[in-house]
Amino acid sequence: MRRLLLSLLACMALAPAARGAPEPRGEVTVFAAASLTDALRDLGRDWAARGNPAPRFSFAASSTLARQIEQGAPADLFLSADEAWMDHLAQRGMVVPATRVSPVGNELVLVTPAATPRSVTLVPGTDLAALLGPRGRIAVGDPAHVPAGRYAQAALEWMGQWPALSPRLARAENVRAALLLVERGEVPFGIVYATDAVASAGVRVAGTFLAASHPPITYPFALTRRAEPNAGARALLGFLAGAEAHPAWRRHGFALAR
């Protein structure tokens, strides 16, 4: 009995210290927009090379990931391809507002299969429907829920091409799926991010949409509410949004926030 009592007292003495100790940097789960795939895989290797546990990545459309987080998926960080889906989670108290930062941006481009390169001037009045031919379609992330598709719709509206092209879209579940349709030659054109074109040997850039044709393409990052006490998640977010990650973002074609 005396030994049991001493053991209990020892545990009680250690408990406050344990509660005050910093949480170990365990594995971190990152939900990230599909267009961030290549850059984040490189950055994940860099993070692990510094002695940290390798992050676990889940890549998909920002809308899909946001809804999964809303339904309780165990994400520690959310990296969105637009501000709207981060706003969606913020309004529901699912992310930590003070951690939100938008460190990188992108451009929107028109691509063709590498085997059939073309050059297209993307200005109001350019008849993209005529360039598609009688049966051709243009691949985009589905504008109903994919950020890249929303930017594409805005750009086509700015050009005056949306009424003619909206029935001729090959709507993909995310921007990388749209890119794949072009790589395979299943469609003559696709609208993707500039970084997707950089990552693919199977496409060529036919033209770059003017920045004025669509809302700014920015990528907000934030800690999810469930990961608020997770020191490892906070440290990884600081790394991805900080100066040490800049070379990797540039190498993959992303623009750095000013």
**Segment 118-158, tens digit of pLDDT:** 999 999 999 999 999 989 999 999 999 999 999 999 999 99
Which residue carries 């750095």 as its tokens? Answer: 256
- Taking a C-beta distance cutoff of 8 angstroms, is the pair 141, 177 a contact? yes
Burial of 20 (0-12, 13-18, 19+ CB in 10 A): exposed
**Segment 66-87, tens digit of pLDDT:** 999 999 999 999 999 999 999 9
- Taking a C-beta distance cutoff of 8 angstroms, is the pair 197, 111 a contact? yes
- Taking a C-beta distance cutoff of 8 angstroms, is the pair 113, 185 a contact? yes
pLDDT at 46 over 90: yes
Partner residues linked to 190 by β-bridges: 111, 139
Which residue carries 């994940």 as its tokens? Answer: 44
Architecture of domain 26-105+218-256: 3-Layer(aba) Sandwich (3.40)
Using alpha carbons, select from 143, 116, 128 the residue that is nearest to residue 202. 116
Q: pTM here?
A: 0.85
Bigger pLDDT: 27 or 204? 204
Distance CA 155, CA 68 (A): 29
Using alpha carbons, select from 30, 32, 31, 37 the residue that is nearest to residue 195. 37
Instruction: Tell me the pairing of strands 218-223 and 101-105.
Output: antiparallel
* CATH fold for domain 108-213: D-Maltodextrin-Binding Protein; domain 2 (3.40.190)
Ranges in the chain annotated CATH 3.40.190.10: 26-105+218-256, 108-213
Query: How far, in Å, are 25, 59, 119, 202, 225 from residue 240 at the CA level?
Result: 16, 16, 35, 28, 18
Task: Write down the mean pLDDT value for the chain.
Answer: 91
- Taking a C-beta distance cutoff of 8 angstroms, is the pair 35, 81 a contact? yes
pLDDT at 12 over 90: no
